[in-house]
């Protein structure tokens, strides 16, 4: 069941998205060699609770942390740890929160110190995949238009598109219908309507798309150990241009 949101509800999601954006911007400044992802996790939780919101990941199906911290070959759902980050690693931080009953979900990838050109390119292309997908998030289009836009750009760069995990509807719940795959066929799948709110989140690997689950039963890693990048925002589909709720003030015009 897909729940569309009215303008008042989207305003609440905009408020949640704005707070999450502030949290993630702050976390970005903490990423450097020697820092631990556990310290970043604690800071995220402190900041979210200080603003009167709740970390949505913590306790979700038993997940024990406020952020997912996924390093290099970890795709998503990495556990924050007390292992110091090392120069050149790729760190993906995924975080969600609930403010006044409404959810926001967003992720970014960043280099620890200075990373190789290959790693920098992977992150750049992953972000481009997101924007190409988001541009398709318009009433009248279909989910396959989003997936195709992400997939063709990743594959044109020789990268793998993770298939086992997808984006999702979001609202009062973190994961609502529909699933939003990062692959697909143009013109296929659920038709998008104004008031739908979805998280688009390409997970792109330097190598193959196949993954496995770690012994902690959460963390997802690439089977071929290739480095993976993740980028996500929560978006509102409107009568006009899509609005990026976790990037305050950002609407995507058709010719952008
Ligand atoms: Mg997320
Ligand atoms: Mg998500």
- pTM, rounded to two decimals: 0.97
Residues shown for the chain = 256
Q: Which ligand is nearest to the CA of 70?
A: 1
Q: What is the mean predicted confidence (pLDDT) over 109-114?
A: 98
Dist. CA 16 → ligand 2 center (Å): 14
- The answer to whether 150 and 132 have CB atoms below 8 angstroms apart is yes
- The answer to whether 242 and 137 have CB atoms below 8 angstroms apart is yes
Dist. CA 119 → ligand 2 center (Å): 22
The model's pLDDT over 166-204, given as tens digits with 9 standing for 90+, comes to 999 999 999 999 999 999 999 999 999 999 999 999 999
Query: Counting beta carbons within 10 angstroms of the beta carbon of residue 18, is it exposed (0 to 12), middle (13 to 18) or buried (19 or more)?
Result: middle
Q: Which ligand is nearest to the CA of 230?
A: 1
The environment of the single-atom ion ligand 1, i.e. residues with CB closer than 5 A, is 94, 105, 107, 232
Dist. CA 28 → ligand 1 center (Å): 16
Round to whole Å and give the CA distance between 188 and 170: 21
Burial profile 181-220: b = 16 or more Cβ within 10 angstroms, e = fewer: bbbbeeeebbebeebbbbbbbbbbbbbebebeeeeeebbb
Does 75 have pLDDT greater than 90? yes
| Torsion sign (Cα): 69, 74, 75, 79 | negative
- Residue 255 pLDDT class (50, 70, 90 cuts): confident
- Residue 253 pLDDT class (50, 70, 90 cuts): confident
Q: What is the mean predicted confidence (pLDDT) over 5-22?
A: 98
The environment of the single-atom ion ligand 2, i.e. residues with CB closer than 5 A, is 105, 199
The model's pLDDT over 33-47, given as tens digits with 9 standing for 90+, comes to 999 999 999 999 999
Dist. CA 201 → ligand 1 center (Å): 7
Dist. CA 167 → ligand 1 center (Å): 8
Dist. CA 75 → ligand 1 center (Å): 12
Burial profile 51-66: b = 16 or more Cβ within 10 angstroms, e = fewer: eebbbbbbeeeeeebb
Q: Which ligand is nearest to the CA of 199?
A: 2
Dist. CA 169 → ligand 2 center (Å): 9
- State residue 256's pLDDT score: 63
Q: Which ligand is nearest to the CA of 231?
A: 1
Dist. CA 62 → ligand 2 center (Å): 16
The model's pLDDT over 208-231, given as tens digits with 9 standing for 90+, comes to 999 999 999 999 999 999 999 999
Dist. CA 70 → ligand 2 center (Å): 14
Half-sphere exposure of 193 (CA within 13 A, CB side): 8
Q: Which ligand is nearest to the CA of 175?
A: 2
Q: What is the mean predicted confidence (pLDDT) over 124-149?
A: 98
Dist. CA 130 → ligand 2 center (Å): 13
Q: What is the mean predicted confidence (pLDDT) over 87-115?
A: 98
């Amino acid at each position: 069941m897909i729940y569309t949101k009215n303008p008042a509800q989207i305003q609440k999601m905009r408020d949640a998205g704005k707070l999450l954006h502030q949290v993630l911007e702050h976390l970005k400044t903490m990423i450097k060699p020697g820092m631990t992802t556990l310290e970043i996790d604690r800071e995220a939780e402190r900041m979210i609770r200080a603003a009167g919101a709740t970390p949505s990941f913590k306790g979700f199906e038993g997940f024990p942390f406020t952020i997912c911290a996924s390093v290099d070959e970890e795709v998503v759902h990495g556990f924050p740890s007390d292992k110091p980050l090392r120069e050149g690693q790729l760190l993906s931080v995924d975080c969600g929160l609930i403010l006044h009953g409404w959810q926001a979900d967003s992720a970014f990838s960043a280099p620890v110190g200075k990373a190789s050109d290959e790693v920098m390119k992977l992150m750049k292309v992953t972000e481009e995949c997101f924007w190409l997908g988001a541009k398709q998030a318009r009433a009248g289009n279909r989910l396959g238009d989003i997936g195709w836009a992400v997939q063709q750009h990743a594959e044109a760069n020789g990268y793998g598109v993770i298939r086992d995990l997808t984006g999702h509807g979001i609202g009062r719940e973190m994961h609502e219908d529909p699933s939003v795959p990062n692959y697909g066929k143009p013109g296929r799948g659920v038709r998008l309507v104004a008031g739908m709110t979805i998280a688009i989140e390409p997970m792109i690997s330097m190598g193959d798309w196949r993954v496995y689950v770690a012994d902690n039963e959460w963390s997802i890693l690439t089977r071929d150990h290739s480095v993976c990048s993740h980028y996500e925002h929560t978006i509102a589909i409107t009568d006009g241009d899509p609005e990026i709720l976790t990037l305050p003030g950002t609407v995507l015009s058709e010719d952008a």
